[in-house]
Amino acid sequence: MAKYILKRLLLLIPVVLCVALLIFVIMSFTPGDPAVIILGENATLEQVANLHEKLGLDDPLPVRFFNYIKGIVTRFDFGTSYTNGREVKQEILQRFGFTLKIASFSMVFSLGIGIPLGIVAALNRNSWKDNLSMTVALFGISMPTFWFGLMLSIIFALKLRWLPPSGVGSIKNYIMPCLAVSMPGIAGMARQTRSSMLEVIRADYITTARAKGQTERVITYRHALRNALIPVVTQAGAIFGLLMCGTLVAETVFTIPGLGTYMVTAIKSRDYPAIQGAVIMVSIAFSIVMLLVDLLYAAVDPRIRAQFSNGG
């Protein structure tokens, strides 16, 4: 298993490099001179030229990209912000915790609500429970995160005054953002779980278990659900990426000082190092989550566990 984990970790390197190259090229061809952004519109040509030389902006694109990656690998250095002169690394580390916390809580909501909804829908196919579960799923997948977040804020913060409208002071501050972000995840989990459960409960071994006199509870949770979770785990990795994107949006709605707010501010001010660093950090986090999802297969699929034992 250690060999498999090492191989997957090595595969993360070209993925992150491709993301870094893509965002670096996009930022390089974005209109606007970084030196003018830093010095201001009243800077002289000589000042702009000197700053170009200091930042290495006159170097060819491959050289600048190599130096950028070298700084990340050797010093974990994402550059310096154009707007406030602070290290992008420090800004990201201060804010990433808020983003990861919202995404993680939203994933818990997605799994904790979506999977039971899918199970109930599958076990009560074509009944009112099935229709209600799928209506909730359709509702969740259809709503934009920012709109649902605003509706939650209007109802629970402005009208009822049950929850704070913004900030990160207590656990109450995370309820509305996590609920807004998790709705697409709940919908995806419910639909995938229902589909998988319907396929599994029609299998021959489920019929055999019933013929042996096992209870429906044992059949559902010991036999059906365990096998139905294999495609659900696959879906969970993709949904976490969706939740990360939703988190970046929700942070701006609820004024949470995470990477989303940082990226929006950086885009408005054309702070290229901040944008690049934040995107790369999000891609690294998503890649690590996909690795963890692969490892979860061993917990639900004995065949993959056997591959790990054989050094696969």
**Phi, psi dihedrals of residue 80, rounded to the nearest 5°:** -120, 140
Amino acid 39: pLDDT: 80
**Global pTM?**
0.80
What are the start-end ranges of the H helices in the chain? 2-28, 34-39, 45-55, 61-75, 88-123, 128-142, 145-152, 172-200, 204-211, 216-218, 225-253, 259-268, 272-300, 302-309
**Res 308: pLDDT:** 55
- The yes-or-no verdict on residue 310 having pLDDT over 70 is no
Mapped onto helix, strand or coil, the DSSP state of residue 59 is: coil
Q: What pLDDT was estimated at residue 312?
A: 53
Kindly provide the b/e burial profile for residues 271-294, where b requires at least 16 CB atoms within 10 angstroms of the residue's own CB. Answer: bbbbbbbbbbbbbebbbebbbebb
Quick check: 311 pLDDT over 60?
no
Q: Using CA atoms, how far apart are residues 153 and 180, in angstroms rounded to an integer?
A: 10
Given pLDDT bands bounded at 50, 70 and 90, which one contains residue 221?
confident
Task: Reduce the DSSP state of residue 284 to 3 states and report it.
Answer: helix
Nearest to 191 by CA among 125, 131, 242, 115: 115
Please report the pLDDT score of residue 140 as a whole number: 85
Residue 168's contacts (CB-CB under 8 Å, 6 or more residues apart) are: 98, 174, 256, 257
At 298, the pLDDT band (50, 70, 90 cuts) reads low
**pLDDT, tens only, 84-115:** 888 899 999 899 889 888 988 999 999 999 99
Distance between CA atoms of residues 251 and 177, nearest Å: 8
Residue 304: what pLDDT? 61
Sign of CA dihedral 114, 117, 121, 127: negative
Rg (CA), the chain: 24
Specify the pLDDT at position 267. 85
What are the tens digits of pLDDT across the range 138-162?
A: 888 888 888 998 999 999 988 988 8
Reduce the DSSP state of residue 272 to 3 states and report it: helix
pLDDT in tens, 225-278: 877 887 887 788 778 888 888 888 888 888 888 888 888 888 888 888 888 899
Q: What is the 3-state secondary structure (H, E, C) of 112-181?
A: HHHHHHHHHHHHCCCCHHHHHHHHHHHHHHHCCHHHHHHHHHHHHHHHCCCCCCCCCCCCHHHHHHHHHH
CA 17 to chain centre: 18
Residue 302 has pLDDT above 70, yes or no: no
Mean pLDDT confidence for 165-173: 83
pLDDT greater than 70 at residue 204: yes
Q: What are the structure tokens assigned to 282, written together? A: 């999000």
Condensed to tens digits (0 to 9), the pLDDT of residues 41-76 reads: 787 888 888 888 887 778 888 888 998 888 888 888
